[in-house]
Structure 1
Amino acid sequence: MVHKQVLKSVSPVWAEMIDSQMKESIEIEDFSSKIVCFAVKLLYGVLINLSMENMLSLYLFAQKYHIQILLDFIEEQLIKEISPANVVHLFKFSSPDASNIPKLHQKCINYFMKCLKETIPIYAVESLGETFLASMVLKSLNSNFTDTNV
């Protein structure tokens, strides 16, 4: 059970559904009850520990229902979680062709650059393709050159 006013205040999609249909309940079929429960808890200020998979699903849920407060919160959490083990997955998830999360996408690119400079191995980096990897190497070389005092 969630207060209608809370739903209306955080989501224009839900506000329209509530106002136009005058229903006592909203059915959400595209997401598991677990994801919906996580969203409601976060909306009520309850902090929960989420796995990467749950954060990604919750982001898609918030994106579908235009819940900006959750989008911002999850994006910040995902940025904090970037690592050599998941940067490729987050890069693909945040790309313009997927979820289109520009800030997270840029942070992933920055992380690639850092790993290149520090020769840190990245899991599944080959899945990004030769063109992307070549552009990262070129950017890394250019930034190394411009960073030095010659």
Structure 2
Amino acid sequence: MLDKNGVELRTGQIVKITGAYFKNDNGLYFVTHSPGDPGWCGSNYSLTKISKAGKISKAKYNLCFWPIVSVVSDRWKAAEANAWNKEHAQIEVKTIKNMTEVAAYFQAKADELEDPIRYLTYNFGEDHPEVVRNKTLRDHFANLAKSVMGEEAT
């Protein structure tokens, strides 16, 4: 999917949403998952709110999807919000100076997979599909951490 300037959205990028129905949906985010990523079977982009200084938000409502999906208890308001967002909301790829927290986020995701990989390898062997899947996912997150910081991914 392309942003409003024709730039393709990818995992690890910083994006800015404007024109959303609910003002809480507007703001800076980083893309945590994209369609086609290992371990992600969604057709939308998963976003996590981030500040201009590069701090990842710890707020209760810090997640969003693109295209925006409004989930409220009033179905008429949800329909109105979804129609508004489809017509008016825009996303644009941006840059920020400090990407260390984003890189640390992806590196932590990679590190979380070390113990499960070790356990699965010990119990089922190196060629088991779950071992292969977890290693692929670990490598994906590790490469994202490097590429976000501008290093060469392996």
TM-score (norm 1): 0.25
Q: Which has the larger radius of gyration?
A: 1
User: More helix by proportion, 1 or 2?
Assistant: 1
User: More strand by proportion, 1 or 2?
Assistant: 2
Q: Which has the higher contact order (CA 8 A, sep 6+)?
A: 2
